[in-house]
Chain A
Amino acid sequence: MAVLDEPIKEVLAIKNCIGGEWVESKGELIEVVNPATCKVIARVPISTKEEINAAVEAAKEAFPEWRSTPPLARARCLLRLRELMEERFEELSRIQTMEHGKTIDESRGETRRGIENVEVAAGIPSLMMGYNLEDVAAGIDEYVIRQPLGVFGIIGPFNFPFMVPLWFAPYAVAAGNCIIVKPSSEDPISQAKIAEMTEEAGIPAGVWNVVNGGRDVVNGMLDHPGINGICFVGSTPVGKDVIYRRCGETGKRVISQCGAKNFLVLMPDADIEKTIAACMTSFFGNTGQRCLAGANLVVVGEGLSEHQYEALYDKFVDKFVSVASTIKVGYGLDESVQMGPLRDKKKKERVAGAIQKGVEEGAKLRLDGRKIELAGKWPHDCFLNPTVFEDVAPDMVIGRDEIFGPVASIMRVRTFDEAIETIHRNPFGNSAAIFTSNGKWARDFRYNVQCGNIGINIGLVAPMAFFPFSGMKNSFFGVLHGQGQEAIRFFTESKVVIERWF
C-alpha cells in the first residue's frame, strides 16, 4: 500500500517556547530520526539550566494574571485549542508516526486521547468548584476554595509524544497554573506543535512553556524552588530514585508514573477469537512500547483435567503464534502496516538482547522477531517482528523485567489463585487483565489483584480522560494520578475558610 504523505518535508529546527517567544537554545543540538526511514527529521536542543530558569521566571510572571482570569475564559482557551487540534488532526497524527514510528491508526488514537484530555479539562468551571456547609457552629459557615499553586513541570516520555503531557498540561492550565513541558528529546516535535497552537488559542505568553533537553533540564526543574510540582512518566529507576525522592526532598508535589510488567490471564472459558485480537493489540500495539502493554500471558487450567488443559493450552498458543506471525511490520504511514519500528536502534538492541536471554534461560521461542520481514523496503535498523515465547517462568528475566518491546511471554498455571500469586510476585502493578465468561472469576480478579488498572476482557486497560490513570507498587509513586478529577486535585490547593460576621 502507498505511504501517506509526510507532513515534515525538511529538517525542523526545534526551539524552546519561553514566555511566548520561540527561543534558540545555547545547548548542543541532537538529531531526531524517523526510526522507519532512518532520515533526520529535526534537530532539538539540549537546553541549559539557565534556560529552564528563564522558563520558570516567565511562568511565575504569567501566573498572577492567569490565575485571576475567570475559569470560563480559561476553559474557552482550551476549547479553542481543541478546535485547532481537530483541524490539524491528521497532520498531528502523521507527525507522531514520523517521530516515534507507531502506525497511523495508533497515532490517530493517540491524538484522540490527547484531545479528550483537553475536552475534559475544559470543564474546569465545574471541576474546580469547592464546597461549603452553613452553620458548622451557630452563625458560622465553612467552605473550601480550590486555588492554583503556581508553576508545574511536566516531563514526558518518548512512547506517547503527543498524548502523555496532555494527561497533565490542560488540567494544570485550566486550574490557573502555568507549566513548563519537557518533551522527550527523542521525539519532541508534537509538543512544539501543541505549543504553537496554544498561542493561537489565546493562552497568554508564559502560561504554556516548552523547554527541550535532557538531564540538566530535569535537574533544573527538580531543584528550582519556583516549581511547585512535577509530573513524570518514564522508567521506574528514574521515577522512583530521582523524581519521587527529589520531589520529597524539595517539598514538591509529584505524580511519577513508571514502568510495568502487565499480565493477561486467560481462563478456560474465555472467547478465544476475541481474546486473540485483544492480545495482539495489547502485546504488539505501539511495538510493545507502552506501560500498559501486555507482557506475560498466563493460561489457566482451573477445573480442567490434565488432558483438557494441554488441549486448551496448545490450541490457544498455536493460534496466538499463528496470528502474531501474520502481523505486517513496516513504516507506520503505510496504512496496511500493523506494527512499526522500535523508537531507535539502541532500543531494538536491548529488546533483541532480552530475547536472547529468554532463549538462554530455557524458554521456548515459538516466534523469533529477530528474523525481520518488512512490508516495504526500509532500513532494518530499528525494526523487530513480533516475538512469542512459551513455557516462561515468572522468575526468568523475560517473565520478570520490563522489556518494552514486542515480546509476549506465555506461562502455564493450573489455578486461578496461582495466577493471582504470580501477578503479585512481580514488583510492578500497572495493569492486569482477565479473559473469562465467568462473573465470579472476573469479580475476584478485580477485587484481589494489586494493580492500578484492571481489565475484564480488555487487553489494553487505558483509562479514559475522565478517569485517573492509576498504578500501584513499582509502577506509580505519588498519591494523586494524572487525568480527570484527580489531576484537578493535584493542581489545586484546598483552602478552608471559616466565616463569622458580628
Chain B
Amino acid sequence: MEKPSITASAVINFAEKLEEDSSRFYEELAKRYGQSKDLFLSFAKESIDNKIFVSRTYRETITDAIEACFSFKGLNLNDYKFETTLAEGTSYSDALRKAMELEEKASKFWLDIAEQSASLLATIPRAFRKVAEKRSNRKMKIKSLFKSS
C-alpha cells in the first residue's frame, strides 16, 4: 500500500503552529521561573522569528512547477504533536525536562521535513534545516541549565 503524500501547505501550517505554541510555552516559562527569564524570552522570540522565516521562504519559493503537493511522503504530523501546556505547580526541573522533550521533537520534525523535501522543494528545505539547527542548539542550552539546576 502506497503511503500518501501531504501538501507543503499543510506542513507549513503545522510548522507555524509548532513555533507559535513553542513561543507561548517559553513565555509561560519566563513568567514562572525568573531565574532563566531572559533565556526563555529569547527562545520565545526566536520561535516567532522562525515562523516568519519559514513562512516567508515558502511564500517566496513556492511556484506552480515544484512538487508542493507531493513532497512529504508518508509523513504523519500527529507524530510531532506536543502538548505545551504546563501544569500548575510544575517544578523548575520538570519544566526543563519538558522543554528538552519539546526541543527533541521539534528538531526531529524540522530535520525530517528537510530530508523528505530535499530534492523537490528548492530552497525551502534549507530553511527547515536552519530552524532544526536552532532548535537543537536550544536543547543543548536547556540541558546545561538542567544540569546546573
Is B10's CB under 8 angstroms from A326's CB? no
Is B69's CB under 8 angstroms from A286's CB? no
Query: Which of A103-111, A301-309, A355-363, A469-477 is found at the contact surface with chain B?
Result: A103-111
Is B10's CB under 8 angstroms from A322's CB? no
Could you count the A-B residue pairs with CB atoms below 8 Å apart for me: how many are there?
Answer: 90
Set of chain B residues within 8 Å of A336, measured between Cβ atoms = 6-7, 10
Q: Summarize A's interface: helix, strand, loop or mixed.
A: helix
The smallest C-beta distance from A52 to any residue of chain B, in angstroms, reads 31
Is A109's CB under 8 angstroms from B70's CB? no
A339 to B4, CA, bound (A): 13
Is A89's CB under 8 angstroms from B8's CB? no
A337 to B6, CA, bound (A): 8
Set of chain B residues within 8 Å of A290, measured between Cβ atoms = 64
Q: Is residue B87 contacting chain A, with contact meaning CB distance below 8 A? A: no
Is A325's CB under 8 angstroms from B2's CB? yes
Is A103's CB under 8 angstroms from B65's CB? no
A123 to B68, CA, bound (A): 29
Is A104's CB under 8 angstroms from B9's CB? yes
Is B65's CB under 8 angstroms from A335's CB? no
A110 to B65, CA, bound (A): 9
Set of chain A residues within 8 Å of B62, measured between Cβ atoms = 105, 108-109, 112
Is A103's CB under 8 angstroms from B69's CB? yes
Is A108's CB under 8 angstroms from B9's CB? yes
Q: Is residue B66 contacting chain A, with contact meaning CB distance below 8 A? A: yes
Given A112-B62, A326-B2, answer yes or no on A281-B67 (Cβ-Cβ < 8 Å). yes
Q: Is residue A436 contacting chain B, with contact meaning CB distance below 8 A? A: no
Is A105's CB under 8 angstroms from B2's CB? no
Q: Mark A459-488, 1 if CB is under 8 A from B, else 0.
A: 111100000000000000000000000000
Instruction: Tell me the residues in window 318-340 of chain A with beta carbons closer than 8 Å to chain B beta carbons.
Output: 319, 322-323, 325-326, 328, 335-339
A280 to B13, CA, bound (A): 22
Instruction: Tell me the residues in window 100-141 of chain A with beta carbons closer than 8 Å to chain B beta carbons.
Output: 103-106, 108-110, 112-113
Is B119's CB under 8 angstroms from A274's CB? yes
The smallest C-beta distance from A438 to any residue of chain B, in angstroms, reads 19
Is B7's CB under 8 angstroms from A105's CB? yes
A277 to B116, CA, bound (A): 12
Is B64's CB under 8 angstroms from A110's CB? yes
Q: Mark B46-86, 1 if CB is under 8 A from A, else 0.
A: 00000000000001111111111111010000000000000
Given A274-B120, A277-B70, answer yes or no on A285-B64 (Cβ-Cβ < 8 Å). yes
Is B70's CB under 8 angstroms from A280's CB? yes
Is B120's CB under 8 angstroms from A277's CB? yes
Is A113's CB under 8 angstroms from B9's CB? no
Is B6's CB under 8 angstroms from A109's CB? no
Set of chain B residues within 8 Å of A458, measured between Cβ atoms = 65
Is A106's CB under 8 angstroms from B64's CB? yes
Given A274-B120, A277-B120, answer yes or no on A113-B7 (Cβ-Cβ < 8 Å). no
A12 to B119, CA, bound (A): 42
A105 to B1, CA, bound (A): 26
- Residue pairs across A and B with Cβ atoms less than 8 A apart, 10 shown, are A104-B9, A109-B68, A274-B120, A277-B73, A325-B2, A335-B13, A336-B6, A336-B10, A338-B5, A338-B69
Closest 8 CB pairs of A and B: A109-B64, A326-B4, A322-B2, A338-B69, A105-B68, A462-B65, A335-B9, A460-B65
Residues on B facing A (Cβ under 8 Å)? 1-10, 13, 59-71, 73, 119-120
Known contacts A278-B67, A278-B120; can you find 18 more A-B pairs with CB under 8 A? A103-B69, A105-B8, A108-B59, A109-B63, A109-B66, A112-B59, A112-B60, A112-B63, A277-B67, A280-B70, A281-B65, A285-B69, A290-B64, A319-B2, A335-B9, A335-B10, A462-B64, A462-B65
